[in-house]
Structure 1
Amino acid sequence: MLAAILYDLDGTIVNTDPLHYQVWREMLQKYGIEIDEEFYKNHMSGRLNPQIVRDFMPEWSTEAIYEFSDRKEARFREVAGHLKPLPGVYDAITWGTERGLKQALVTNAPRANAEYMLEVLQLSTAFDRVVISAEVGIPKPDPAPYEYILKEFGITPGEALAFEDSPSGMRSAVAAGIKTVGIATTQEPGELYELGAALVISDYTDSRLWKLLEPHH
């Protein structure tokens, strides 16, 4: 029986990746580092900022890495005010609310970003919990963030459904034993199926999603 729906944020509720890519590109260029979309998709999407910065700047102190990460996210928030949620997101969240399901956001994004994006998308009150990987202590792709929310909600993996778009997010949810729907905003559907997605859709208007949810009406 379905008891909870768990959503990732970036690329899952809202397609922030093109904007994150632009901001990373702009900031790394100042250090003579060039990235393209393919590199971003394969090596950066869905990962924690400090991990990414350390890959590029292994000689930097932890303090410098966090300072750069904070600047990068501040810049992102400056330019993200116009973003819109993926089609059908409101319907999916409303569907869960009407059925009394618990709903949570489980993200590798920093809390300031998550709260800002929920405000922009008018979803500030949509979730029972907002789980920030860095606060749990172990980020995706480790299953820890998902295991944390299952424990918080007092449910088994079989009672949850997750939505994810990135390889790290898919690995995290699948490793936690949760049935996961892939959102193909940042990756090819085939890649998400390979990582264990039960279904891959481009957005929440896909009739196959509603067929999947139907038994829980």
Structure 2
Amino acid sequence: MFKAILFDLDGTIAHTDTIHFSIWQSWLQKYGLNIDLSFYQQNINGRHNPDFLRQWLSELSEEEIQQLSNDKEAYFREIAQDQLRPLTGLFTLLDWLRDCQLKSAVVTNAPRSNADFMLKVLKLHDFWETVIVGEELPKAKPDPYPYQEALRCLNISPDEALVFEDSPTGIYSSVGAGIFTVGISTTHSDEVLSECGAKLIIHDFSDPRLKTIGVLDNI
């Protein structure tokens, strides 16, 4: 039996990808980069902003990259206030997690300001033992480091944890840390998530297949 459940944030705890995609599609046009949903899914979703900006807007300085990232996320917080919705079944799962006295953490590539904002809007800011933010670490996802840091903070081993992730970037990170990972198909297909290493694919937290791995098994 696992002792902790670790959650990604964007696309896992809350539906946010349509908001992020819409903003990036509009803003990147100003730099001559026209993107569609497929490009977003393959190159932006789940990644640390400066990482993909260095790749696709290499003409920008580090200062310009950081400013663009900061401005975009500030705009996200401005327009997302009334649009954030938790994934179906999230609060039932969190109630079960608390009843079972399991530890919990958020592990995200979102900036700290976004993570704090989203969790406050969802009234979950004080729920977690820890919130791990990739930009505050030596390496962000897809490197295993963020999930390894979560394990250290919770004082558990990889085989005592379970991860929920929605992006290839996040799944590579959690699988690389040796943690059993459940993929959530909010943004990517079941096939893509499985190929990245997810052991079980669900649509949301109401999926009855969770009971096959001991989650919500007494509800």
TM-score normalised by L of structure 2: 0.95
C-alpha displacement of 1:210: 2.7
The answer to whether the 8 Å contact 2:130/2:153 transfers is no
Whole-Å Cα distance in 1 between the matches of residues 151 and 40 of structure 2?
30
2:85 alignment partner, SS class: coil
Q: How much does 1:213 deviate?
A: 2.0
Which segments of 5 or more consecutive residues in structure 1 lack a partner in the other structure?
none
3-state secondary structure, aligned to 2:214: helix
* 2:179 equivalent in structure 1: 178
Looking at structure 2, the residues matched to 214 and 41 of structure 1 have their Cα atoms a distance apart, in angstroms, of 28
Residue-pair matches, total: 217
Deviations 1:173-197 (A, max 9, x none): 0111100000001110011111111
- The whole-number CA distance in structure 2 between the counterparts of 1:169 and 1:53 is 18
Q: 3-state DSSP class of the match of 1:2?
A: coil
> Identity of paired residues, percent?
47
Deviation of 1:31 after TM superposition, in Å, equals 2.1
| Aligned counterpart, 1:195 | 196
Q: Which amino acid aligns with 1:55?
A: Q
Change (3 A) 1:75 1:214: closer
Residue matched to 2:14: 14
Residue 59 of structure 1 is matched in structure 2 by 59
Contact 1:2-1:216 within 8 A present in 2 as well: no
Query: What RMSD in Å do the two structures reach over aligned CA positions?
Result: 1.3
Distance 1:100 1:68, change over 3 A: same
1:118 is matched with which residue? Answer: 119
Q: Deviations over 1:130-165 (max 9, x none)?
A: 000111220111100001111111111000000000
Per-residue deviation, residues 26-65 of structure 1 (Å, max 9, x unmatched):
1112222210001101111100111121122212111111
Aligned to 1:209: 210
AA at the equivalent of 2:137: V
Extract structure 1 runs of 4+ deviating beyond 4 A.
Answer: 214-217
* Residues 214/104 of structure 1: CA separation in 2 closer, same or farther (3 Å cut): closer
Q: Give the secondary-structure state (helix, strand or coil) at the position aligned to 2:131.
A: strand
Distance in 2 (CA, whole Å) between partners of 1:25 and 1:163 is 27
Q: Given that residues 104 and 129 in structure 1 are in contact (C-alpha distance below 8 angstroms), is that contact kept between their aligned partners in structure 2?
A: yes
TM-score (structure 1 length as normaliser): 0.96
State the 1:211 CA deviation.
Answer: 3.1
2:172 corresponds to which letter in structure 1? R
Distance 1:215 1:77, change over 3 A: closer
